[in-house]
A and B are shown apart, each in its own frame.
Chain A
Amino acid sequence: MPLNDDQVRAVLDAMGRTHASSCDEFLDVMGQLAELQERGDALPDELQHALEHLAACAGCAEELKAVRAALAG
Protein backbone atom coordinates (compact mmCIF):
# COMPACT_ATOMS: atom_id res chain seq x y z
CA MET A 1 0.00 0.00 0.00
CA PRO A 2 1.98 3.04 -1.19
CA LEU A 3 1.82 6.19 0.94
CA ASN A 4 2.84 9.63 -0.16
CA ASP A 5 5.04 11.88 1.98
CA ASP A 6 2.14 13.91 3.36
CA GLN A 7 0.34 10.75 4.42
CA VAL A 8 3.45 9.39 6.11
CA ARG A 9 3.86 12.66 7.99
CA ALA A 10 0.18 12.64 8.96
CA VAL A 11 0.49 9.16 10.45
CA LEU A 12 3.71 10.00 12.24
CA ASP A 13 2.17 13.19 13.66
CA ALA A 14 -0.91 11.32 14.83
CA MET A 15 1.25 8.66 16.47
CA GLY A 16 3.08 11.39 18.33
CA ARG A 17 -0.18 12.82 19.61
CA THR A 18 -1.87 9.62 20.69
CA HIS A 19 -4.11 10.56 23.57
CA ALA A 20 -6.82 9.18 25.79
CA SER A 21 -10.06 11.18 25.71
CA SER A 22 -12.95 10.84 23.26
CA CYS A 23 -14.98 13.29 21.18
CA ASP A 24 -17.94 12.83 23.56
CA GLU A 25 -15.75 13.65 26.54
CA PHE A 26 -14.50 16.70 24.68
CA LEU A 27 -18.07 17.81 24.01
CA ASP A 28 -18.70 17.85 27.76
CA VAL A 29 -16.04 20.54 28.22
CA MET A 30 -16.19 22.32 24.86
CA GLY A 31 -18.41 25.14 26.18
CA GLN A 32 -16.15 25.69 29.17
CA LEU A 33 -13.04 25.71 27.00
CA ALA A 34 -14.63 28.07 24.48
CA GLU A 35 -15.61 30.55 27.18
CA LEU A 36 -12.22 30.45 28.87
CA GLN A 37 -10.43 30.94 25.55
CA GLU A 38 -12.76 33.76 24.52
CA ARG A 39 -12.05 35.53 27.80
CA GLY A 40 -8.33 34.84 27.53
CA ASP A 41 -8.36 33.10 30.91
CA ALA A 42 -5.82 30.50 31.97
CA LEU A 43 -7.01 26.94 31.50
CA PRO A 44 -7.29 24.70 34.55
CA ASP A 45 -5.25 21.50 34.68
CA GLU A 46 -8.35 19.36 34.28
CA LEU A 47 -8.74 20.68 30.73
CA GLN A 48 -5.31 19.41 29.72
CA HIS A 49 -6.78 16.21 28.30
CA ALA A 50 -9.17 18.33 26.25
CA LEU A 51 -6.26 20.24 24.73
CA GLU A 52 -4.52 16.98 23.91
CA HIS A 53 -7.67 15.73 22.25
CA LEU A 54 -7.98 18.99 20.34
CA ALA A 55 -4.45 18.69 18.98
CA ALA A 56 -5.31 15.36 17.42
CA CYS A 57 -8.94 15.83 16.40
CA ALA A 58 -9.58 18.25 13.56
CA GLY A 59 -13.34 17.79 13.86
CA CYS A 60 -13.51 18.91 17.48
CA ALA A 61 -11.12 21.78 16.72
CA GLU A 62 -13.44 22.94 13.95
CA GLU A 63 -16.44 22.76 16.26
CA LEU A 64 -14.67 24.65 19.04
CA LYS A 65 -13.77 27.43 16.64
CA ALA A 66 -17.42 27.73 15.60
CA VAL A 67 -18.63 27.75 19.22
CA ARG A 68 -16.18 30.55 19.99
CA ALA A 69 -17.47 32.49 17.01
CA ALA A 70 -21.02 31.92 18.19
CA LEU A 71 -20.20 33.15 21.69
CA ALA A 72 -18.44 36.19 20.32
CA GLY A 73 -21.16 36.95 17.77
Chain B
Amino acid sequence: MRAVTPAPETNDDWVRAVRASDPGALEALRSTLLRGLRSGLSSKKLSDDVLQDFVQEAMVRIAAAIDRFRGQSTFRAWALSIAMRVAFEELRRARWKDVSLEAPGNEALDPPSDAPGAERDLARAQVLATLERAIDEALSPRQREVLLGELGGVPTDELAQRLGTNPNALYKLSHDARVKLKQAFAQAGLDASQVRWAFE
Protein backbone atom coordinates (compact mmCIF):
# COMPACT_ATOMS: atom_id res chain seq x y z
CA MET B 1 0.00 0.00 0.00
CA ARG B 2 1.41 3.40 -1.01
CA ALA B 3 2.05 5.81 1.86
CA VAL B 4 -0.04 8.97 1.74
CA THR B 5 2.24 11.98 1.31
CA PRO B 6 1.17 14.98 3.36
CA ALA B 7 0.47 18.16 1.44
CA PRO B 8 3.53 20.43 1.27
CA GLU B 9 3.49 23.25 3.79
CA THR B 10 6.09 25.79 2.72
CA ASN B 11 6.57 27.40 -0.67
CA ASP B 12 9.87 25.58 -1.09
CA ASP B 13 8.19 22.28 -0.30
CA TRP B 14 5.55 22.97 -2.92
CA VAL B 15 8.07 23.88 -5.59
CA ARG B 16 10.14 20.77 -4.90
CA ALA B 17 7.06 18.57 -4.91
CA VAL B 18 5.69 19.98 -8.16
CA ARG B 19 9.09 19.68 -9.83
CA ALA B 20 9.25 16.07 -8.68
CA SER B 21 5.63 15.41 -9.73
CA ASP B 22 4.98 14.11 -6.24
CA PRO B 23 1.59 12.32 -6.48
CA GLY B 24 0.41 13.36 -3.03
CA ALA B 25 1.33 16.98 -3.59
CA LEU B 26 -0.30 17.04 -7.01
CA GLU B 27 -3.48 15.63 -5.54
CA ALA B 28 -3.42 18.24 -2.79
CA LEU B 29 -2.87 20.94 -5.41
CA ARG B 30 -5.75 19.61 -7.50
CA SER B 31 -8.06 19.78 -4.47
CA THR B 32 -6.86 23.27 -3.57
CA LEU B 33 -7.48 24.56 -7.08
CA LEU B 34 -10.89 22.96 -7.32
CA ARG B 35 -11.98 24.47 -4.02
CA GLY B 36 -10.59 27.84 -5.07
CA LEU B 37 -12.34 27.80 -8.42
CA ARG B 38 -15.61 26.82 -6.76
CA SER B 39 -15.33 29.83 -4.45
CA GLY B 40 -13.93 32.32 -6.92
CA LEU B 41 -16.33 31.40 -9.72
CA SER B 42 -19.41 30.63 -7.61
CA SER B 43 -21.44 33.32 -9.38
CA LYS B 44 -20.85 31.61 -12.73
CA LYS B 45 -22.78 28.47 -11.74
CA LEU B 46 -20.35 26.14 -13.47
CA SER B 47 -20.54 22.38 -13.19
CA ASP B 48 -17.81 20.45 -11.42
CA ASP B 49 -16.94 18.79 -14.74
CA VAL B 50 -16.13 22.18 -16.22
CA LEU B 51 -14.16 23.20 -13.15
CA GLN B 52 -12.23 19.92 -13.28
CA ASP B 53 -11.25 20.70 -16.86
CA PHE B 54 -9.96 24.10 -15.77
CA VAL B 55 -8.01 22.47 -12.95
CA GLN B 56 -6.46 19.95 -15.31
CA GLU B 57 -5.24 22.68 -17.66
CA ALA B 58 -4.05 24.77 -14.72
CA MET B 59 -1.99 21.85 -13.37
CA VAL B 60 -0.18 21.63 -16.69
CA ARG B 61 0.50 25.36 -16.77
CA ILE B 62 1.61 25.47 -13.14
CA ALA B 63 4.14 22.71 -13.77
CA ALA B 64 5.40 24.51 -16.87
CA ALA B 65 5.66 27.85 -15.07
CA ILE B 66 7.10 26.65 -11.77
CA ASP B 67 10.40 28.45 -12.38
CA ARG B 68 8.54 31.76 -12.57
CA PHE B 69 7.27 31.41 -9.01
CA ARG B 70 9.35 33.83 -6.96
CA GLY B 71 7.84 33.14 -3.56
CA GLN B 72 6.43 36.62 -3.05
CA SER B 73 3.02 35.16 -2.30
CA THR B 74 1.99 31.80 -0.94
CA PHE B 75 2.22 29.02 -3.47
CA ARG B 76 -1.53 28.60 -3.12
CA ALA B 77 -2.23 32.19 -4.21
CA TRP B 78 0.15 31.93 -7.14
CA ALA B 79 -1.35 28.64 -8.31
CA LEU B 80 -4.89 29.97 -7.90
CA SER B 81 -3.96 32.95 -10.07
CA ILE B 82 -2.92 30.64 -12.87
CA ALA B 83 -6.05 28.53 -12.46
CA MET B 84 -8.21 31.64 -12.58
CA ARG B 85 -6.43 32.85 -15.71
CA VAL B 86 -7.16 29.49 -17.35
CA ALA B 87 -10.80 29.61 -16.31
CA PHE B 88 -11.44 33.14 -17.51
CA GLU B 89 -9.68 32.55 -20.81
CA GLU B 90 -12.03 29.67 -21.48
CA LEU B 91 -15.12 31.50 -20.26
CA ARG B 92 -14.38 34.55 -22.41
CA ARG B 93 -13.65 32.42 -25.44
CA ALA B 94 -16.96 30.63 -25.05
CA ARG B 95 -18.89 33.83 -24.49
CA TRP B 96 -17.52 35.79 -27.40
CA LYS B 97 -16.97 33.21 -30.09
CA ASP B 98 -20.02 34.39 -32.03
CA VAL B 99 -19.49 38.14 -31.77
CA SER B 100 -18.29 39.76 -35.00
CA LEU B 101 -15.36 42.16 -34.94
CA GLU B 102 -16.98 43.98 -37.84
CA ALA B 103 -19.94 45.08 -35.75
CA PRO B 104 -18.62 46.40 -32.45
CA GLY B 105 -21.83 48.20 -31.59
CA ASN B 106 -20.98 51.47 -33.26
CA GLU B 107 -23.89 53.79 -33.52
CA ALA B 108 -24.12 57.37 -34.63
CA LEU B 109 -22.69 59.95 -32.28
CA ASP B 110 -25.07 60.55 -29.41
CA PRO B 111 -26.53 64.03 -29.35
CA PRO B 112 -25.35 66.06 -26.38
CA SER B 113 -27.69 65.14 -23.55
CA ASP B 114 -27.07 68.08 -21.26
CA ALA B 115 -27.41 71.06 -23.58
CA PRO B 116 -23.76 71.95 -22.94
CA GLY B 117 -23.62 75.20 -24.83
CA ALA B 118 -21.91 76.27 -27.99
CA GLU B 119 -18.38 76.28 -26.62
CA ARG B 120 -18.55 72.77 -25.32
CA ASP B 121 -20.29 71.60 -28.49
CA LEU B 122 -17.42 73.01 -30.48
CA ALA B 123 -14.85 71.33 -28.24
CA ARG B 124 -16.66 68.01 -28.47
CA ALA B 125 -16.77 68.26 -32.24
CA GLN B 126 -13.06 69.01 -32.33
CA VAL B 127 -12.20 66.10 -30.03
CA LEU B 128 -14.37 63.74 -32.02
CA ALA B 129 -12.96 64.85 -35.36
CA THR B 130 -9.42 64.50 -34.05
CA LEU B 131 -10.11 61.07 -32.64
CA GLU B 132 -11.82 59.72 -35.74
CA ARG B 133 -9.16 61.15 -38.04
CA ALA B 134 -6.42 59.63 -35.88
CA ILE B 135 -8.13 56.24 -35.85
CA ASP B 136 -8.51 56.34 -39.63
CA GLU B 137 -5.13 57.79 -40.52
CA ALA B 138 -2.61 57.30 -37.72
CA LEU B 139 -3.30 53.70 -36.73
CA SER B 140 -2.15 50.65 -38.62
CA PRO B 141 -4.93 48.32 -39.82
CA ARG B 142 -4.19 45.87 -36.99
CA GLN B 143 -4.09 48.61 -34.38
CA ARG B 144 -7.44 49.86 -35.70
CA GLU B 145 -8.89 46.36 -35.58
CA VAL B 146 -7.77 45.94 -31.97
CA LEU B 147 -9.21 49.28 -30.96
CA LEU B 148 -12.56 48.54 -32.60
CA GLY B 149 -12.64 45.11 -31.02
CA GLU B 150 -11.97 46.60 -27.60
CA LEU B 151 -14.66 49.22 -28.13
CA GLY B 152 -17.03 46.41 -28.99
CA GLY B 153 -16.20 44.74 -25.69
CA VAL B 154 -14.51 41.71 -27.23
CA PRO B 155 -12.18 40.15 -24.62
CA THR B 156 -8.45 40.07 -25.17
CA ASP B 157 -8.21 36.32 -25.59
CA GLU B 158 -10.92 36.21 -28.20
CA LEU B 159 -9.54 39.21 -30.04
CA ALA B 160 -6.07 37.67 -30.06
CA GLN B 161 -7.41 34.44 -31.46
CA ARG B 162 -9.28 36.21 -34.25
CA LEU B 163 -6.22 38.21 -35.21
CA GLY B 164 -3.97 35.16 -35.06
CA THR B 165 -1.82 36.56 -32.27
CA ASN B 166 -1.44 36.23 -28.51
CA PRO B 167 -2.70 38.45 -25.66
CA ASN B 168 0.70 40.00 -25.03
CA ALA B 169 1.18 40.97 -28.67
CA LEU B 170 -2.38 42.27 -28.69
CA TYR B 171 -1.67 44.32 -25.60
CA LYS B 172 1.32 45.86 -27.38
CA LEU B 173 -0.83 46.69 -30.42
CA SER B 174 -3.41 48.34 -28.17
CA HIS B 175 -0.77 50.22 -26.21
CA ASP B 176 0.90 51.51 -29.37
CA ALA B 177 -2.50 52.56 -30.75
CA ARG B 178 -3.21 54.63 -27.66
CA VAL B 179 0.21 56.25 -27.84
CA LYS B 180 -0.47 57.22 -31.45
CA LEU B 181 -3.86 58.66 -30.52
CA LYS B 182 -2.27 60.69 -27.75
CA GLN B 183 0.30 62.00 -30.21
CA ALA B 184 -2.48 62.97 -32.61
CA PHE B 185 -4.24 64.93 -29.87
CA ALA B 186 -1.02 66.67 -28.94
CA GLN B 187 -0.41 67.59 -32.58
CA ALA B 188 -3.93 68.98 -32.78
CA GLY B 189 -3.16 71.19 -29.78
CA LEU B 190 -5.66 69.44 -27.51
CA ASP B 191 -4.48 68.78 -23.98
CA ALA B 192 -5.96 66.33 -21.49
CA SER B 193 -7.93 68.90 -19.53
CA GLN B 194 -9.65 70.23 -22.66
CA VAL B 195 -10.51 66.73 -23.78
CA ARG B 196 -11.94 65.79 -20.36
CA TRP B 197 -13.97 68.98 -20.20
CA ALA B 198 -15.44 68.39 -23.64
CA PHE B 199 -16.74 64.96 -22.72
CA GLU B 200 -17.59 65.41 -19.05
**Interface positions of A (Cβ within 8 A of B):** 1-12, 14-16, 18-20, 22-24, 27-32, 34-35, 57, 59, 62-63, 66-73
Contacts and interface: CB of A to CB of B under 8 A. Distances in A.
Contact of B131 (A3, A57, A63, A71): A3
B47 interface: no
Contacts of B84: 30, 63, 66-67, 70
A32 B135 CA distance: 37
Interface stretch (B2-10, B14-22, B23-31, B167-175): B167-175
A5 B72 CA distance: 42
A19 B174 CA distance: 11
B151 interface: yes
Name which of B39, B81, B174 has the most chain A CB atoms within 10 A of its CB: B81
Nearest to A32: B73
A11 B150 CA distance: 9
A2 B77 contact: no
Contacts of B68: 28
Given A1-B148, A28-B70, 15 more contacts: A1-B106, A1-B135, A8-B127, A10-B151, A12-B195, A15-B178, A18-B178, A22-B171, A31-B72, A31-B78, A32-B78, A34-B77, A59-B88, A69-B39, A71-B80
B171 A23 contact: yes
Contacts, number: 143
Interface of B: 35-42, 68, 70, 72-74, 76-82, 84-85, 87-88, 92, 105-110, 127-128, 131-132, 135-136, 147-148, 150-151, 155-157, 167-168, 171-172, 174-175, 178-179, 181-182, 185, 192, 195-196, 199
Contacts of B41: 66
Nearest to B72: A32
Which 9 A-B pairs give the minimum distances between C-beta atoms? A73-B39, A31-B77, A70-B40, A70-B36, A31-B73, A66-B40, A32-B73, A30-B81, A31-B78
B132 A3 contact: yes
25 contacts: A1-B135, A2-B107, A3-B106, A3-B109, A3-B128, A3-B132, A4-B107, A11-B131, A19-B175, A23-B167, A23-B168, A24-B168, A27-B81, A27-B82, A30-B85, A31-B76, A31-B79, A34-B77, A35-B74, A59-B92, A66-B40, A67-B36, A67-B77, A67-B81, A73-B38
A52 to B, nearest CB: 12
A73 B73 contact: no
Nearest to A2: B108
B128 A27 contact: no
